[in-house]
Chain A
């Protein structure tokens, strides 16, 4: 299913991550999933949060460049081959490209979730179902 994700541009310097996470903590915003794409001078932090709008406002107030993207989130069984058979193979067969993705286990035993950005969101949804 489609969900909102917040991405933030963070300079690769000590303390920047602290400055980025603090306003979220202060605003009582919960981070449900997070990943960082790193490069030499900067990183793109991607998060799924409890309150997307407030998160973006808090980040903008703290002078961070942040935007909201639409991505997909799917449940998978937390077993060997879960990610492969639930998401990756079907998308590969349908010729949908994966831009990035990050997965995590749920508190409920046996369950895991994957957040993914794809080249063709409509096609991906058709292939993977509403999730």
Chain B
């Protein structure tokens, strides 16, 4: 196995930490000087860039949250002029407005390089034919993998998601060796192939690089068995980079975080204090090399465990577990981030009142299904069927528009949604993730 950048990937810890500190100091200075939002925050906390003398001093820096992105929408956290920005991606915010992530030319180059490193770590090489079935568009998955594959020198087929029968035809005809897609889509591909009578293990397909949503070891075993491949886990998030923040090597023993580009902390969500290695906590990330959007101590809300032991593959970079869960109520449905607060704001805007609602997430035949139960109160009850149907239709249309994915809407009786201590249980997630 050839490493993409062995000089970094196998860098001794003390050297790596020295590099991290240098980059952190530089990045913090840039954030302070170029981003009014950060300057104000630093001043509020009485900390200045020159106070960062060791990696330990990172705890003196302020946190960044999704709310900060929302409050500074769209370009309030940018450190470069908009004219330098060559790409803008976006992801779901907690309300109607998305999280906007700008990239300058250097950032695109950094990202492509990190994704090449990521794909190489997963076991992809320049001779591979990579079928990229992640969504292309504002979502970072499609273009993130695309640029990484091209930088690596693989042959990239930008199929994007959907049209599964054709994807299977391409796998057979073009000799696809690597499939990059969400884990649930990998299962849809497996099932469609079975329905078509196609044996995927007889094709050249040998590897899938899966991410953008949580998946269990059980799902991995299913994907590997049904497609006749190895399935590798990858992690990323729009606010920090997109895909390519961390990735598994073929040892499948945790995802190596690219620590030369990201400073990772794992903190107790309640006390905000660091937890020791091997213990669960919230992953907090600081970008060390991103230019257009430097981010300091971003609370990811992802609960993980870090393992520092040098991996059998030789990489010295810390390994993170799969995401155990979230500290907030965000859901990932069909690869899209969904917040209950988004659903609340839709119901409020359509009905004028905020009814009691419940979000039921289930998975049928590997496709995530989102159903929203809305209690019909006196305020919205009409005795005409078409008014209620119209209400259902409007809620469904608004949901589709705000969430970006289709949700079923079911009008239910007032007593239907269980309440504990007066508060309704907002989310029922029936998927075994």
A contact residues vs B (CB 8 Å cutoff): 5, 7, 9-11, 16, 37, 39, 41-42, 44, 46, 63-67, 69, 99-100, 117
Contact = CB atoms under 8 A, between A and B. Distances in A.
A41 B385 contact: no
B277 interface: no
Interface residues of B, number: 16
Given A10-B413, A65-B381, A67-B378, 17 more contacts: A9-B376, A16-B413, A41-B410, A41-B412, A42-B376, A42-B388, A42-B411, A42-B413, A44-B384, A63-B413, A64-B414, A65-B377, A65-B414, A66-B381, A100-B385, A117-B383, A117-B384
B374 to A, nearest CB: 11
- Interface of B, secondary structure class, is mixed
A67 B383 CA distance: 8
B413 A65 contact: yes
A21 to B, nearest CB: 15
B414 A63 contact: yes
- Which of A11, A64, A117 has the largest number of chain B CB atoms within 10 A? A11
A7 B415 contact: no
A100 B387 CA distance: 13
B102 to A, nearest CB: 44
B389 interface: yes
Contacts of A10: 413
B383 A42 contact: no
A67 B381 contact: yes
A23 to B, nearest CB: 13
B378 A44 contact: no
B327 interface: no
- Interface of A, secondary structure class, is strand
B385 A9 contact: no
Contacts of B410: 41
A99 B410 CA distance: 23
B383 A11 contact: no
A39 B413 contact: no
B54 interface: no
A9 B381 contact: yes
A10 B376 CA distance: 10
Contacts of B389: 39
A105 B412 CA distance: 33
Contacts of B401: none
A42 B383 CA distance: 12
B416 interface: yes
Contact of B412 (A5, A7, A11): A11
B37 to A, nearest CB: 46
B416 A11 contact: yes
A44 B385 contact: yes
A41 B383 contact: no
A26 to B, nearest CB: 18
11 contacts: A9-B376, A39-B385, A39-B388, A42-B411, A44-B385, A63-B413, A64-B413, A65-B377, A65-B413, A67-B383, A99-B384
Nearest to A7: B383
A127 B415 CA distance: 42
B383 to A, nearest CB: 3
B383 A46 contact: yes
- Which of A7, A41, A64 has the largest number of chain B CB atoms within 10 A? A41
Contact of B388 (A44, A63, A67): A44
A69 B378 contact: no
Pairs of residues from A and B, 8 with the lowest C-beta to C-beta distance, nearest first: A7-B383, A63-B415, A11-B413, A37-B385, A65-B381, A9-B376, A41-B410, A69-B383
A44 B383 contact: yes
A64 to B, nearest CB: 7
Contacts of A41: 410-412
B161 to A, nearest CB: 29
A16 B413 CA distance: 10
Interface in B349-390: 376-378, 381, 383-385, 388-389
Contact of B384 (A11, A42, A66, A100): A100
A62 to B, nearest CB: 9
B376 to A, nearest CB: 5
Nearest to B379: A65
A64 B412 CA distance: 11
Contacts of B381: 7, 9, 65-67
Interface in B224-276: none
A123 B389 CA distance: 27
